[in-house]
C-alpha cells in the first residue's frame, strides 16, 4: 500500500513540476531549447517511474508506531528551532541545547545528556571555530 | 556599452583629480570580503583577487581580503544576495563590470535596479576581443560577419556570459554595425566563464569566441587562438599591438568592459569613503599600472560619485542600444 | 628523460623542512575535513586559503599546503562513509554502499585499510599519469564537445539501474528527483529564475552539500530516534575485527584497483565530469564486470570498496590536468585551487608548464609527498578511527547531527540552508523507508545543471537539431554503452532473480 501511495504522490509531484515548468517566464532572447524543455523531460521520467512504482509495489516497509513517529516529528521541530535561533542566541548555547535534547531522546540519562550536550558544543566550537577558523553564529555573549 | 574614447579620456582626466583628495578616514574594514559573482577564472574573479592582493601588498589593508565566489544568473545571484541579505555590511565589496550594467539595464536581475547599491570605483577597462582558432579559415572580422550575414546558422559564437549578456551583446553590436539587421539570428552559446568557452573553441565545437582580452591572453600567447578583432578605439600598447581593431577593418564598434566595484546600499558614508579612497590609492600606484599593462587593461579612473554617474549613464546607453537592436522592448 | 629531471628539480623545491611540515599539516587537516560530514575537499581548501596567505607563504609552499588538504580530504571522506554510512563528502558516497556493510560484518578495520590502500594506488598512478600524459590528455578533453558531455552524463544515469537498488523504477525516480532539484535556481543560460517561487535564497540553487548531509546524516539520526528503545544500543557493539586486510583480499582487489584507477583518472581529466563521476563510474562498471548477478556488491564486497576509492582519488589527480593545462577546473576543488593560482599571479593555461616549471613540478612533487604521507598516516590510524564505532549511538548521533549543522552553517552562514537540510533529512528518512536509493538523488543534483546546459549548447550549436546528440563517433559510442548498460540488467536481472530464488530455496534463508 505504501508504494501505491508513494507512486501517486510521485505522480502528483511530477505534474506539479511540469506545471511549474510551463510557468517559467521565457527570456526575451533565448537559446534553441529554452529553459522549459529539460525540466519537462525530467517531469516525464519522474511521472513514468511513479506510475511503475504504483503499479508494481514492493513489499510493505515497516512504519513506526504513532509514539515513535511523534518522536521523529519532535526532533524535526527542535532542529528547525535550532536553525532559526542559532543567529539569535549564538552558537555555543544553541548547540548545547539541541545536542542535549537529542542525546536525551536517544536514551541517555538527563545529567549525562547535559554533559554530552555541553561537551559536544564546546568541542565543535574549538575544532571548527578556533582550529579551522570558520565563522560560527555569534550570539549576544560573543560565542 | 559603447562610448567615445575622447569622452572617456576627458572624463578620466577630469575625475582623477577630484579623487586624490580625501584620504583621512576612521573606518578600517574588519574582515574585508570581496564577492566575485562568477566561478574562479573569469574577469570578476580576477578583479576581486587582484585588487584584494594588491591592497594588502601595498599596505592599504592589513587583512587578507577574503574572496567569495557566488556564481549564477550573470551576477544576479550575488546582486540579490547583497541587496537582500547584506545590505548594511561595511566590510563587503563586490566585483562588477560592464556585464553588470548590461544585466541591470535589461532588467535581467529581477526586481533589482542600480540604485540599490553604492557604486565605488573603477579599476580599468578591458577591451573586448573576437577570436577564432589558430587554424580557422576565417581571416578577419568582416569575413566572420559576412559568413554570419549569408548563413547565420553556420557560425556559433561562444562566450562566458549568459544569453543577452555583455559578451553576447558585443557580437550583436558588431553584427549590427556590419549591416546585419536581424541580430537575433546570430548564434550565441553561453558557457560558464570565458575559460570554458575558449576550450570549446579549441575543441572545434564553436567557430568563434567573444570575450575580454584578459580571458584570451593565455591562449593567444600559446598560439592556440587568433584574435581577429579588438574592440578598442585604436591599437593597444605593448604585446597587444598586433591585434587589429574592429574599426580599422571597417566595423565601427568599440566595446570596453570596465571593471570596478559596488558596495551594499546601506554601507555607511564613512566606510564608503574609506573604500573609495583605498581603491583610488591603489589605482594611483605604479604597481597597479604594471598589473594593468600585464593584463591588457586600459585606463579608466573613476571613483565615488563620478563612478556612480558613469554607471548610470552606461545603463541608460545600454538600454538604448538594446532597444535599438530589438532585444528588449 | 627530461621529465624525470624536471621531477627531480620539483622534489628539490618541495623537499624542505618547512614544506614537509606544511604537507603534514595539510594532510592531517584534510583528512579531518574530509571525514566530517558537510566539509568536503573544496570547502577544505577554501577554508585554508586565508591561512596560506596569512602565513605569507610563497607560491609553491601555498600549493603544497592546499593540495595536501585536497588529497587528504579525498582520503578522509571514506572514513565516515565506512563507519557511519554517512559520506564525508560527495565522492565518498559510493564507498558507503559496500564499506558500511563491511563494517557491520565486523570488518571495519579491513575496510578502512583497504580503502586507504586503494586511495593510495589511485592517487599515486594518477600523479604519474599527470606527469607523462598531461599534454596528450588535454587532447582527450578537447574531443568532448557539449553533445559528448551530455552523452557521458546520460551514461552515468542509465547505468545507474542496478547500482543501489533492486527496483529500477525507484532508481529512476530518485535520479529524476535529483535532476529536478538541480533545476531550482536561476537558469545559467538565459538568466530566468526557475522553481524559485520568488524565494531569493533559492536563486543560486540548492547546494548539493546541503542535500547530501541532510539525506544521509540527518536521516540516519531520525532512524535512530525512531528505533530508540533497545534496538539502537543493542546493535552498537560492533566487532572491529583485524585492522589490516589479508594478502588475499589485496590480491583479489588488485585488478579492480587497476581498472578503477584508469577509469577514474579519465573521468577526472574531463572538465565537468569530476571526482564524483569518477568514483561512480568506477563502482558501477566494476559491479557490471565482476558481479553480474548482483550477489555480493552492496553487501560488503571488498571490491566495492576498492573500486570507488581508487576511482575518486585517481580522478582527483586527473582533474589537475585540465586545470593546469587549460585553466579550466574539472571539479569544485580544482576550481578553488585555480583561484589560488590566480591569486598567486600564476595563470594556468597551455603555457604554464613552460612559463612556471618550478610551480608545476613543485606541485607534482608535493602530490607524491602528500600521497605517501597520507598512506603512512592512515594505515596506523585505522585503529583509532574504528574506536568511533565503540561510541554508543545515543552519544554519537547527536554529535553527527550537530557537526552536520555546523559544517553547513559555517560555510554559508544561512539559517535557510539549515532548514532546507532538515527538509532533506525528513525526505531521506521517508525515502529510505520506501527503499528508494539516495545515491541517484545526489548524482542528479550534482550533475543536473551541467547535463542540461550541455544539452542546450549542443542543440543550439546545431540549430535546434536534436540529432546532433548522436553526431560524432564518440557520442554514438557513449550512447551505445549507455543503452547496453540500461537494457542488459533488465534482461539479465530477471534471470538472476529467478536463479536467486532457486538458490534461496536450496540453502534455506541465510540472507542478510
pLDDT band for position C177 (50/70/90)?
Answer: very high
Q: Which of B35, B42, B189 to mutate to test the interface with C (most CBs of C within 10 A)?
A: B189
CB atoms A124 and C402 under 8 Å: yes
Q: What are the boundaries of each domain within chain B? A: 5-126+256-325, 127-249
Nearest to B41 among C144, C146, C329 (CB): C329
pLDDT band for position C423 (50/70/90)?
Answer: very high
Provide, as residue numbers in chain A, all residues whose Cβ is less than 8 Å from the Cβ of C457.
31
Provide, as residue numbers in chain A, all residues whose Cβ is less than 8 Å from the Cβ of C196.
none
Provide, as residue numbers in chain C, all residues whose Cβ is less than 8 Å from the Cβ of B69.
335, 339
Stretch (H or E) spanning B264: strand B256-264
The pLDDT of residue B112 is above 80: yes
CA-to-CA separations, A57 to A46, A96, B75, C169, C435, in angstroms, rounded: 16, 43, 46, 10, 11
pLDDT of residue A10: 93
The alpha-carbon gap from A142 to the nearest alpha carbon of chain C, in Å, equals 16
pLDDT of residue C507: 38
pLDDT band for position B130 (50/70/90)?
Answer: very high
Question: In terms of pLDDT, which residue wins out, C495 or C101?
Answer: C101
Provide, as residue numbers in chain A, all residues whose Cβ is less than 8 Å from the Cβ of B189.
31
Question: In terms of pLDDT, which residue wins out, C325 or A74?
Answer: A74
pLDDT band for position C53 (50/70/90)?
Answer: low
pLDDT band for position C337 (50/70/90)?
Answer: confident
The answer regarding whether domain B5-126+256-325 maps to CATH 3.40.190.150 reads: yes
CB of B189 within 8 Å of any CB in chain A?
Answer: yes
**Is residue C278 a contact partner of residue C264, using CB atoms and an 8 Å limit?**
yes
Tell me what the pLDDT averaged over chain C comes to.
Answer: 80
Looking at chain C, the whole-number percentage of residues with pLDDT higher than 90 is 6
CB atoms A29 and B163 under 8 Å: yes
| CA gap C355, C348 in Å, rounded | 10
pLDDT band for position B117 (50/70/90)?
Answer: very high
Mean pLDDT value across residues C420-431: 93
Chains that touch B (3 or more CB pairs under 8 A): A, C
pLDDT of residue C179: 92
pLDDT of residue C166: 64
CATH fold for the domain made of B127-249: D-Maltodextrin-Binding Protein; domain 2 (3.40.190)
ipTM of the complex: 0.92
pLDDT of residue A11: 94
- How open is the CA angle C467-C471-C474, to the nearest 5 degrees? 135
Question: In terms of pLDDT, which residue wins out, B159 or C298?
Answer: B159
Provide, as residue numbers in chain B, all residues whose Cβ is less than 8 Å from the Cβ of C460.
156, 187, 189
**CA of C458: which chain B residue's CA is closest?**
B205
Domain membership flag for residue A8: yes
Stretch (H or E) spanning C108: helix C108-143
Domain membership flag for residue A136: no
Chains that touch A (3 or more CB pairs under 8 A): B, C
Q: Which of C48, C398, C463, C465 to mutate to test the interface with A (most CBs of A within 10 A)?
A: C398
Closest CA to B287 of B56, B29, B17: B56
Which residues on adjacent β-strands are paired with residue B35? B68, B94
Nearest to C329 among B40, B46, B221 (CB): B40
pLDDT band for position B208 (50/70/90)?
Answer: very high
| CA gap C226, C209 in Å, rounded | 25
DSSP state of C335: H
The alpha-carbon gap from A138 to the nearest alpha carbon of chain B, in Å, equals 15
For chain A, what's the residue count? 143
State how far Cα C58 lies from the chain centre: 30
Sign of CA dihedral A58, A60, A61, A63: positive
The pLDDT of residue B35 is above 60: yes
Question: Same domain for A78 and A51?
Answer: no
The alpha-carbon gap from A92 to the nearest alpha carbon of chain C, in Å, equals 11
Question: Same domain for A51 and A81?
Answer: no
Count the domains in chain A.
2
pLDDT of residue C163: 57
pLDDT band for position B156 (50/70/90)?
Answer: very high
CA-to-CA separations, B254 to B158, B164, B196, C349, in angstroms, rounded: 19, 18, 24, 28
Nearest to C410 among A69, A117, A134 (CB): A134
CB atoms A99 and C180 under 8 Å: no
Provide, as residue numbers in chain A, all residues whose Cβ is less than 8 Å from the Cβ of C225.
68, 71-72, 75, 102, 105-106
pLDDT band for position B14 (50/70/90)?
Answer: very low
pLDDT of residue C95: 87
The pLDDT of residue B107 is above 50: yes
pLDDT of residue B281: 92
**Cell numbers representing residue C187 in the block:** 537558469
CB atoms A31 and B190 under 8 Å: yes
Question: Same domain for A36 and A72?
Answer: no
| Cα distance from N-terminal residue to C-terminal residue, chain C | 55
Domain membership flag for residue A140: no
Taking only the tens place, the pLDDT of each residue in C1-51 is 577 788 888 888 778 888 888 888 888 888 888 887 767 777 777 777 767
The alpha-carbon gap from C8 to the nearest alpha carbon of chain A, in Å, equals 34
pLDDT of residue B119: 94
| CA gap B81, B78 in Å, rounded | 5
Nearest to A106 among C393, C411, C451 (CB): C393
* Three-state DSSP string of C111-162: HHHHHHHHHHHHHHHHHHHHHHHHHHHHHHHHHCCHHHHHHHHHHHHHCCHH
pLDDT band for position B24 (50/70/90)?
Answer: very low
Provide, as residue numbers in chain B, all residues whose Cβ is less than 8 Å from the Cβ of C190.
162-164, 190
Question: Same domain for A44 and A70?
Answer: no
**Is residue A13 a contact partner of residue A42, using CB atoms and an 8 Å limit?**
no
Provide, as residue numbers in chain C, all residues whose Cβ is less than 8 Å from the Cβ of B67.
339, 343
pLDDT of residue B17: 38
Nearest to C194 among A24, A45, A120 (CB): A24
Question: Under an 8 Å CB criterion, which residues of C touch B?
Answer: 50, 53-54, 141-146, 185-191, 193, 200, 203-205, 271, 322, 326-329, 335-336, 338-339, 342-343, 345, 347-351, 453, 457, 460-461, 463
- Which of B189-193, C259-263, C328-332, C357-361 has the lowest average pLDDT? C328-332
Interface size between A and B, measured as CB pairs under 8 A: 17
CA-to-CA separations, C335 to A94, C332, C485, in angstroms, rounded: 34, 5, 31
Q: What are the boundaries of each domain within chain C? A: 2-497
Mean pLDDT value across residues C417-440: 89
pLDDT band for position A114 (50/70/90)?
Answer: very high
Measured over all CA atoms, what is the biggest interatomic distance in chain C, rounded to whole angstroms? 69
Question: Same domain for A106 and A73?
Answer: yes
Count the alpha carbons within 13 Å of B274 in the hemisphere toward its beta carbon.
18
pLDDT of residue B22: 40
Provide, as residue numbers in chain A, all residues whose Cβ is less than 8 Å from the Cβ of B106.
28
pLDDT of residue B92: 92
| CA gap C243, C385 in Å, rounded | 11
pLDDT band for position B42 (50/70/90)?
Answer: low
pLDDT of residue B1: 35
* 3 state DSSP class of C198: coil
Mean pLDDT value across residues C238-259: 81
CB of B293 within 8 Å of any CB in chain A?
Answer: no
- Which of B255-264, C136-145, C364-373 has the lowest average pLDDT? C136-145
Question: Same domain for A75 and A124?
Answer: yes
The pLDDT of residue C499 is above 50: yes
pLDDT band for position A101 (50/70/90)?
Answer: very high
**CA of A25: which chain B residue's CA is closest?**
B110
pLDDT of residue A76: 94
CB of B68 within 8 Å of any CB in chain A?
Answer: no
Mean pLDDT value across residues C492-497: 56
Provide, as residue numbers in chain C, all residues whose Cβ is less than 8 Å from the Cβ of B73.
185-188, 191, 193, 203-204
Question: In terms of pLDDT, which residue wins out, C259 or B222?
Answer: C259
Mean pLDDT value across residues B93-122: 87
pLDDT of residue B25: 47
Sign of CA dihedral C244, C247, C252, C258: positive
* Highest-scoring range by mean pLDDT, B279-288, C387-396, C437-446, C474-483: B279-288
CB atoms C402 and A29 under 8 Å: no
Question: Same domain for A40 and A77?
Answer: no
- Residue A25 is part of which domain span? 2-55
Amino acid at each position: 500500500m505504501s508504494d501505491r501511495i508513494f507512486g501517486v504522490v510521485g505522480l502528483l509531484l511530477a505534474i506539479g513540476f511540469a506545471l511549474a515548468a510551463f510557468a517559467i517566464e521565457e527570456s526575451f532572447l533565448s537559446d534553441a531549447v529554452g529553459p522549459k524543455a529539460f525540466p519537462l523531460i525530467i517531469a516525464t521520467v519522474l511521472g513514468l517511474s511513479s506510475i511503475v512504482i504504483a503499479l508494481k509495489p514492493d513489499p510493505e516497509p515497516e512504519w513506526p508506531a504513532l509514539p515513535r513517529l511523534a518522536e521523529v516529528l519532535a526532533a524535526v521541530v527542535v532542529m528547525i528551532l535550532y536553525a532559526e535561533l542559532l543567529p539569535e542566541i549564538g552558537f555555543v548555547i544553541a548547540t548545547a541545547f539541541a545536542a542535549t535534547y537529542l542525546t536525551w531522546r536517544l536514551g541517555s540519562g538527563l545529567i549525562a545528556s547535559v554533559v554530552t550536550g555541553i561537551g559536544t558544543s564546546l568541542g565543535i566550537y574549538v575544532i571548527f571555530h578556533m582550529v579551522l577558523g570558520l565563522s560560527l553564529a555569534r550570539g549576544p555573549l560573543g560565542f | 556599452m559603447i562610448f567615445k574614447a575622447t569622452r572617456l579620456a576627458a572624463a578620466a582626466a577630469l575625475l582623477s583629480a577630484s579623487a586624490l583628495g580625501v584620504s583621512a578616514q576612521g573606518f578600517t574594514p574588519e574582515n574585508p570580503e570581496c564577492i566575485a559573482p562568477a566561478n574562479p577564472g573569469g574577469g570578476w574573479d580576477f578583479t576581486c583577487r587582484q585588487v584584494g592582493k594588491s591592497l594588502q601588498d601595498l599596505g592599504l589593508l592589513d587583512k587578507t581580503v577574503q574572496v567569495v565566489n557566488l556564481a549564477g544568473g550573470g551576477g544576479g545571484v550575488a546582486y540579490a544576495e547583497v541587496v537582500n541579505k547584506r545590505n548594511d555590511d561595511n566590510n563587503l565589496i563586490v566585483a562588477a563590470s560592464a556585464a553588470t550594467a548590461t544585466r541591470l539595464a535589461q532588467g535581467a536581475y529581477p526586481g533589482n535596479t542600480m540604485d540599490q547599491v553604492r557604486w565605488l570605483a573603477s579599476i580599468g577597462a578591458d577591451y573586448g576581443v573576437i577570436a577564432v582558432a589558430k587554424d580557422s579559415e576565417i581571416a578577419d572580422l568582416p569575413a566572420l560577419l559576412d559568413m554570419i550575414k549569408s548563413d547565420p546558422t553556420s557560425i556559433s559564437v561562444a562566450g562566458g556570459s549568459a544569453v543577452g549578456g555583455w559578451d553576447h551583446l558585443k557580437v550583436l553590436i558588431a553584427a549590427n554595425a556590419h549591416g546585419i539587421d536581424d541580430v537575433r539570428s546570430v548564434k550565441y552559446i553561453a558557457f560558464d566563464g570565458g575559460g570554458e568557452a575558449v576550450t570549446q573553441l579549441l575543441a572545434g565545437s564553436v567557430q568563434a569566441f567573444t570575450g575580454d582580452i584578459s580571458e584570451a591572453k593565455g591562449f593567444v600567447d600559446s598560439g592556440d587562438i587568433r584574435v581577429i578583432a579588438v574592440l578598442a578605439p585604436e591599437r593597444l600598447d605593448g604585446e597587444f599591438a598586433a591585434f587589429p581593431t574592429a574599426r580599422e577593418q571597417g566595423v565601427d564598434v568599440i566595446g570596453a568592459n570596465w571593471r570596478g566595484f559596488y558596495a551594499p546600499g546601506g554601507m555607511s558614508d564613512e566606510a564608503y569613503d574609506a573604500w573609495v579612497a583605498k581603491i583610488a590609492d591603489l589605482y594611483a600606484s605604479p604597481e597597479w599600472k604594471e598589473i594593468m599593462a600585464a593584463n591588457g587593461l586600459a585606463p579608466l579612473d573613476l571613483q565615488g560619485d563620478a563612478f556612480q554617474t558613469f554607471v548610470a549613464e552606461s545603463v541608460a546607453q545600454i538600454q538604448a542600444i538594446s532597444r535599438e537592436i530589438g532585444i528588449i522592448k | 628523460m627530461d621529465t624525470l629531471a624536471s621531477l627531480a628539480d620539483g622534489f628539490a623545491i618541495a623537499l624542505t623542512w618547512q614544506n614537509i611540515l606544511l604537507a603534514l599539516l595539510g594532510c592531517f587537516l584534510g583528512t579531518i575535513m574530509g571525514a566530517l560530514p558537510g566539509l568536503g575537499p573544496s570547502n577544505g581548501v577554501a577554508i585554508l586559503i586565508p591561512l596560506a596567505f596569512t602565513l605569507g607563504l610563497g607560491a609553491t609552499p601555498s600549493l603544497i599546503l592546499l593540495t595536501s588538504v585536497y588529497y587528504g580530504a579525498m582520503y578522509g571522506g571514506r572514513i565516515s562513509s565506512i563507519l557511519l554510512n554517512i559520506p564525508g563528502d560527495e565522492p565518498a558516497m559510493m564507498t558507503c554502499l559496500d564499506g558500511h556493510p563491511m563494517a557491520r560484518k565486523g570488518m571495519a578495520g579491513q575496510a578502512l585499510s583497504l580503502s586507504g590502500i586503494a586511495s593510495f594506488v589511485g592517487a599515486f598512478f594518477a600523479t604519474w599519469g599527470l606527469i607523462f600524459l598531461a599534454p596528450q590528455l588535454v587532447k582527450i578533453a578537447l574531443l568532448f564537445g557539449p553533445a559528448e558531455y551530455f552523452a557521458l552524463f546520460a551514461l552515468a544515469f542509465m547505468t545507474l539501474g542496478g547500482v543501489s537498488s533492486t527496483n529500477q523504477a525507484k532508481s529512476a525516480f530518485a535520479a529524476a528527483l535529483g535532476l529536478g532539484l538541480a533545476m531550482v535556481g536561476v537558469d545559467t543560460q538565459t538568466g530566468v529564475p526557475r522553481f524559485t517561487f520568488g524565494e531569493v535564497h533559492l536563486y543560486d540553487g540548492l547546494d548539493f552539500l546541503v542535500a547530501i548531509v541532510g539525506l544521509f546524516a540527518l536521516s540516519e539520526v531520525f532512524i535512530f530516534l525512531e528505533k530508540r528503545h533497545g534496538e539502537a544500543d543493542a546493535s552498537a557493539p560492533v566487532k572491529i575485527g583485524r585492522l589490516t586486510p589479508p594478502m588475499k583480499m589485496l590480491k583479489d582487489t588488485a585488478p579492480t584497483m587497476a581498472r578503477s584507477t584508469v577509469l577514474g583518472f579519465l573521468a577526472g581529466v574531463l572538465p565537468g565530469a569530476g571526482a564524483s563521476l569518477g568514483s561512480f563510474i568506477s563502482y558501477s562498471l566494476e559491479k557490471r564486470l565482476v558481479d553480474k548477478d548482483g550477489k555480493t556488491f552492496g553487501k560488503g564486497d571488498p571490491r566495492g570498496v576498492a573500486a570507488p576509492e581508487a576511482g575518486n582519488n585517481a580522478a582527483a589527480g586527473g582533474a589537475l590536468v585540465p586545470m593546469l593545462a587549460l585553466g579550466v577546473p574539472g571539479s569544485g576543488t580544482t576550481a578553488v585551487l585555480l583561484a589560488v593560482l590566480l591569486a598567486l599571479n600564476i595563470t594556468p593555461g597551455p603555457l604554464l608548464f613552460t612559463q612556471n616549471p618550478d610551480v608545476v613540478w613543485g606541485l607534482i612533487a608535493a602530490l607524491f609527498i602528500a600521497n605517501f604521507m597520507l598512506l603512512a598516516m592512515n594505515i596506523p590510524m585505522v585503529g583509532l578511527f574504528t574506536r568511533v564505532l565503540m561510541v554508543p549511538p545515543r552519544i554519537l548521533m547527536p554529535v553527527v547531527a550537530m557537526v552536520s549543522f555546523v559544517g553547513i552553517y559555517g560555510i554559508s552562514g544561512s539559517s535557510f540552508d539549515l532548514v532546507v537540510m532538515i527538509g532533506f533529512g525528513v525526505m531521506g528518512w521517508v525515502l529510505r523507508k520506501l527503499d528508494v536509493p539516495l545515491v541517484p538523488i545526489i548524482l542528479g543534483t550534482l550533475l543536473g545543471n551541467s547535463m542540461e546546459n550541455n544539452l542546450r549548447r549542443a542543440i543550439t550549436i546545431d540549430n535546434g537539431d536534436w540529432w546532433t546528440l548522436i553526431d560524432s563517433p564518440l557520442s554514438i559510442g557513449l550512447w551505445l554503452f549507455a543503452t547496453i548498460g540500461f537494457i542488459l540488467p533488465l534482461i539479465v536481472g530477471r534471470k538472476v532473480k529467478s536463479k536467486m530464488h532457486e538458490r534461496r530455496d536450496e540453502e534455506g534463508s541465510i540472507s542478510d
